[in-house]
Structure 1
């Protein structure tokens, strides 16, 4: 089965919380977005996640959403892509919520998430 994917957000690594906040404020001003604080990040709208530290990926990460994450993981595995099982997050009912692909792509980590 071919799954469809859509860009959910771009995560940008920052040195610390102040740097992440400054970048978030700038992106919100630039593109007329609303800011929202997350657990580990500042969000500029739904497009940009300004991570408060250096997380996965040299530059950050790209979040891709899909309607059927279990099927998408199966499809990507069949294409030869691996996953970093340590990054898997689950919903309360045990279904996979998101997981990072193994490695980097153009300096970015990629995670796929349930839409």
Structure 2
């Protein structure tokens, strides 16, 4: 399989914070520094859609990195050949039953990577 067919690209970087207040301060600081917009979700603040500031510690020692792909399930097969395992308990599936999002089963450089369907 040609890796370019999978269309890997950075979706966002998730940054773990101790609580919602710290998360809000971090989101506000990034917005003030760079003129970014933010939106709040139940568990995080998305800043410019490229940073997800968590309201509490989440997967990954430091946070997580989301990687988009054209085909999550084919990407999983490709990465399994590279020795990557997946945490099936994190799998989100579409109406068709196919995996749309899933986290690796371990950190890389303090970050838990996850795949996301384009």
2:98 maps to which residue? 95
1:50 maps to which residue? 53
Deviation at 1:31, TM superposition (A): 1.8
Q: Give the secondary-structure state (helix, strand or coil) at the position aligned to 2:12.
A: strand
| Selected match of 2:72 from 64, 69, 73 | 69
Given the two structures, how large is their TM-score scaled by the length of structure 2?
0.92
Aligned residues: 115
Given the two structures, how large is their TM-score scaled by the length of structure 1?
0.95
1:1-115 equivalence runs, <5 A: 1=1, 2=3, 3-115=6-118
> 2: distance between equivalents of 1:22 and 1:92?
36
Q: Give the secondary-structure state (helix, strand or coil) at the position aligned to 1:104.
A: strand
Q: Which runs of 5+ in 1 are unaligned?
A: none
Runs of 4+ aligned structure 1 residues displaced above 2 Å come to: none
Deviation at 1:28, TM superposition (A): 1.3
